[in-house]
């Protein structure tokens, strides 16, 4: 452990047949807190470095943090996923593998954990909470760039420009995770959430054209109707393609919940 600067362990997470790369951020020994852990993952067709600042900012303030690649995402890990079913099962469960690694590295932390992600990562982290992976922990969730568009509004995913862009980016992920497979599943999961009684914080920029003007608020209402405690934050500048800029807002929320 470095006395003055953070260090990063380059590790592998394995869940079933699924393998991904991960980074475990170790705080400077002089700043290490015993308040808990943080775990995050990234969005569709992206990679863990897109959320690097989230981990760096928390780690600089003493919180052991782990970020990992989504299964079958080749810009971060050259590991395929065996099937879409494996992705659906393993992506949320990788959070327990991440927590295990953090607990092995820092066994004397309190039982508080901040979990979350950007876009697809917001969903898979919510599913991890919903599946009871963090039962027994004081769990807080933070989702960035995730929402539900209003009924009857043409979503940006359905516009010709975005279709061309996402088709190109789909070359960066497993063929099992093609847009025609992923987008309907993501939409279905949004409207079939069942988690209740959790603390959830949503962050989406006013300029996030993927989430849209009211997307975050619509999703917050859906979660509130399930009897969750939901807070939202809407920065003027936080485009969907710039999740790393959310680091300062993640840090602010971590302070609010007493993690730092």
Q: Is residue 1 one of the residues assigned to a domain?
A: no
CA atoms of 31 and 5, how far apart (whole Å)? 9
Q: Which of 110, 134, 173 is nearest to 39 (CA)?
A: 134
Q: Is residue 73 one of the residues assigned to a domain?
A: yes
3-state secondary structure of 139: strand
Q: Is residue 61 one of the residues assigned to a domain?
A: yes
Instruction: Return the pLDDT at 173.
Output: 98
Q: Is residue 2 one of the residues assigned to a domain?
A: no
3-state secondary structure of 4: coil
Instruction: Return the pLDDT at 154.
Output: 56
> How many CB atoms sit inside 10 A of residue 200's CB?
24
Q: Is residue 144 one of the residues assigned to a domain?
A: yes
Instruction: Return the pLDDT at 163.
Output: 76
Instruction: Return the pLDDT at 11.
Output: 98
CATH of the domain at 130: 3.40.50.1820
Instruction: Return the pLDDT at 83.
Output: 98
Instruction: Return the pLDDT at 3.
Output: 75
Alpha helices in 7-143 (DSSP H): 52-60, 84-105, 120-130
Full domain range(s) for residue 97: 7-256
Alpha helices in 76-176 (DSSP H): 84-105, 120-130, 160-169
Instruction: Return the pLDDT at 74.
Output: 97
Total domains in the fold of the chain: 1
Instruction: Return the pLDDT at 164.
Output: 79
pTM over 0.85: yes
Residues of the chain below pLDDT 70 = 1-2, 152-159, 161
Q: Is residue 88 one of the residues assigned to a domain?
A: yes
Instruction: Return the pLDDT at 32.
Output: 97
Instruction: Return the pLDDT at 77.
Output: 87
Q: Is residue 219 one of the residues assigned to a domain?
A: yes
């Amino acid at each position: 452990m470095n006395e003055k600067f953070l260090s990063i362990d380059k590790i592998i997470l394995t869940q079933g047949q699924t393998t991904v790369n991960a980074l475990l951020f170790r705080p400077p020994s002089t700043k290490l807190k015993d308040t808990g852990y943080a775990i995050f993952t990234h969005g569709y067709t992206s990679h863990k470095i897109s959320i690097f600042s989230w981990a760096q900012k928390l780690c600089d303030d003493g919180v052991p943090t782990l970020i990992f690649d989504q299964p079958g995402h080749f810009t971060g890990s050259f590991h395929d996923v065996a099937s879409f079913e494996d992705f659906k099962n393993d992506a949320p469960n990788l959070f327990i593998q991440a927590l295990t690694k953090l607990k092995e590295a820092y066994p004397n932390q309190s039982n508080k954990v901040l979990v979350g992600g950007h876009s697809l990562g917001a969903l898979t982290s919510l599913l991890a909470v919903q599946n009871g992976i963090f039962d027994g922990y004081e769990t807080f969730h933070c989702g960035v760039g995730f929402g539900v568009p209003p009924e009857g509004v043409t979503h940006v995913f359905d516009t010709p420009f975005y279709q061309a862009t996402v088709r190109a980016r789909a070359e960066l992920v497993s063929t099992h995770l093609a847009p025609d497979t992923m987008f309907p599943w993501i939409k279905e999961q949004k409207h079939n959430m069942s988690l209740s009684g959790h603390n959830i914080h949503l962050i989406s920029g006013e300029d996030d054209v993927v989430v849209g003007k009211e997307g975050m608020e619509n999703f917050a209402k859906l979660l509130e109707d399930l009897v969750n405690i939901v807070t939202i934050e809407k920065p003027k500048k936080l485009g969907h393609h710039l999740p790393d800029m959310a680091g300062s807002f993640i840090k602010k929320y971590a302070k609010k919940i007493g993690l730092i």
